Structure 1
Amino acid sequence: MSDRWQEMAVFVRVAESGSFSRAARELKLSQPSVSRIVGTLEARLGTTLLLRTTRSISLTEAGTLYLERARYLLAEVEEAEQATRGVDSLHGVIRLAMPVLYGTRAVIPALATFLARHPDLRVEMIMSDTRQNLITDGVDVAIRLGVGSLDDSTFGARRLGVVERLVVAAPAYLSARGTPASPADLARHDCIVQHGLFGRESWRFSHNQTVTSVDVSAKLWINPASGVLGAAVAGLGIALATRVMAGEELRTGQLTQVLKPHRLDPAEVYAVFPAGPRPSARIRAIVEHLGASIGTPR
């Protein structure tokens, strides 16, 4: 590898991992060597790419721009090499971001066959219900759920499918407060709203080709989604959930679906990747796998 390609590769791994020592371990270099290589790159470019403290590192504006281009160029090199090796020789690291509960119940179970098929790949999972900055956090692929259009229009993306959204409550809550027969009845109930992903106090239903929007009374605002489910199971109110997320609680009777004839807009599931429309072979492989594994509408 030429000096410039090595500088680029080392910088990208430091930026993605957020640590000189971690990058050094992964690249099988000493930490002083990694620091020296990044320092040489900054000196050659005449700018600071990384802000260093004793606890963390962060990208400067120039570093963010360089990271985006460097990732693209390295992906192009990987693409050329992969074309000669074949798909069965995929190797490297995939940083995969996802919501906590959906990731736990849908994405993680789908990874077993993928990793068995590609033993030289390693997946680093970043699980959070707060949306990451894919560039500064060094994310290769993010699994995102939402209703309506995708906001990261400058990134590459693939729509994996949809998941059904439901209104759920604990039997104990319904016994004490009654079961709503129509969306309008929700105005008299305590409702649980999640910050972020589906965090809204206006719930939109369709029934017999009629659309109804109901302003609910949010008794609790909670993040993450596991907290919403936990509060609903505890009988604190009525909540929105996807069938994937609440499937276990519905099967065991901890939660009951209400307002069944009244449908909510489904949540769309996307794979988003900052590498643009031409991601590397390993990114394409995991996106294709997840599309086949979790992309079936539910």
Structure 2
Amino acid sequence: MSDRWQEMAVFIRVAEGGSLSRAARELEVSQPSISRILGNLEARLGTTLLLRTTRSISLTEAGSLYLERAKYLLAEMEEAEQATRGVDSLHGVIRLAMPVLYGVREVIPALATFLARHPDLRVEMIMSDARQNLVTDGVDVAIRLGVGPLEDSTFGARRLALVERLVVAAPSYLATHGAPANPSELTRHHCIVQHGLFGRESWRFTHDQTVTSVDVPAKLWINSAPGILAAAVAGLGIALATRIMVKEELRMGQLTQLLDGYRLDPAEVYAIFPAGPRPSAKVRAIVEHLAASLGARA
């Protein structure tokens, strides 16, 4: 029976990572061993699960069905073992995806006590402000920031924290262009926005229970939080950011908060589980830890 569990684990790594060599590195076995295990699995089942070319690996219909069931069975087995051993014996690898700046300033500092408590766990971080294909990248849990409801998905999710958003600009920009007195004046300024429809981004403010939505003109489009922060500090325009993203720059006087009488909807921080609403014990443990830590920081 243990051979079958190994076959499942190998198949899941290859199917989600799309690479024999990557699975071999992650599981610390040779690539020929990975090929042999997959061959034995397909021979035993009497069907092809993976279509292999020199450049890519894709799932057959049978492979997609097997992947769904195998992930469920392995999660159930891990939960049963964890219940027997206790939470202090967590082990293995957690692949954790997160935005760059939020990860650097919030998530990474929060992991020190968690990893000290679980020395047999290893965390592999994927840091990017682009939306990854969580299944293809083999991600166990992703940290996402957004405003409003999550997109419909078969993924599981848990909200970890709320983060204040604000509008900022550098003193050098304000010395040249002045500061907007109200949101409608943003249309006369240079604004730094993330890529949006036709180069426009709607910034929604609340003041005295009145909601104002402004389509700001994009002087710069930038697809990463570090880029937006650098551009704002350089005096290239007015930016919308989370307080976490700019708190040090505000403290040091590199940026100034604008329109502080107007409130923006907060950003919501979520943990996303590609495997579905019942993540493994180790994923639940790290999410519980981050919820306690990030919620306290927000």
TM > 0.5 fold call: yes
Structure 1 residue 297, shift from structure 2 partner: 6.5
Q: Which amino acid aligns with 2:262?
A: H
- Pairing of 1:97-136 with structure 2 (within 5 A): 97-136=97-136
2:257 corresponds to = 257
AA aligned opposite 1:46: T
**CA positional deviation for 1:127:** 1.0
What is residue 75 of structure 2 aligned with on the other side? Answer: 75
Q: Distance in 1 between matches of 2:47 and 2:28?
A: 27
Q: Are residues 1:23 and 2:23 paired?
A: yes
Q: Any conservation in 2 of the 1:193–1:218 contact (CA below 8 Å)?
A: yes
Q: Distance in 1 between matches of 2:79 and 2:146?
A: 31
User: Does the CA contact (< 8 Å) of 1:157 and 1:277 recur in 2?
Assistant: yes
* Contact 1:67/1:135, CA 8 A, preserved across alignment: no
Q: Which moved more, 1:3-12 or 1:154-163?
A: 3-12
How many residues in Structure 1 have an aligned counterpart in Structure 2?
294
Structure 2's unaligned 5+ residue stretches are none
Q: TM-score, normalised by structure 1?
A: 0.92
Q: Which moved more, 1:130-139 or 1:99-108?
A: 130-139
1:53 partnered with 2:54: yes
The change in CA–CA distance for 1:61 and 1:46 in structure 2 (over 3 A counts) is: closer
Offset, 1:40: 2.7
What letter corresponds to residue 60 of structure 1 in structure 2?
L
Seen in structure 2, the aligned counterparts of structure 1 residues 258 and 295 have a Cα distance that, compared at 3 Å, is same
Render the CA deviation track for 1:149-202: whole Å, top value 9, x for unaligned.
011442211111110001011100001000111101101101010137xx9511
Deviates more, 1:150-159 or 1:114-123: 150-159
CA RMSD of aligned residues (A): 1.9
Q: What secondary structure does 2:154 align onto? A: coil
Question: 2:173 matched to which residue of 1?
Answer: 173
> Closer, same or farther in 2 for the Cα pair 1:249/1:45, shift >3 Å?
farther
Superposition deviation, residue 22 in structure 1:
3.8
- Residue 85 of structure 1 is matched in structure 2 by 85
Amino acid in structure 1 at the alignment position of 2:266:
P
Partners in 2 of 1:297 and 1:266 — Cα distance? Answer: 14
3-state SS of 2:235 partner? coil
Structure 1 pair 203/70, CA: closer, same or farther in 2 (3 Å)? same
Distance 2:200 2:3 in 1: 51
Q: How far did 1:50 drift?
A: 4.6
Distance 1:137 1:65, change over 3 A: farther
| Percent identity between the two aligned chains | 78
- The answer as to whether partners of 1:68 and 1:135 remain within 8 angstroms in 2 is no
Where does the alignment leave 5 or more consecutive residues of structure 1 unmatched?
none
Give 1:71 shift.
Answer: 1.9
Shift of 1:48: 4.0
User: Equivalents in 2 of 1:220, 1:51: separation in Å?
Assistant: 42
Bigger drift between 38-47 and 159-168 goes to 38-47
Residue 90 of structure 2 contacts residue 120 of structure 2 at CA under 8 Å; is this kept in 1?
yes
| 1:235 corresponding residue in structure 2 | 235
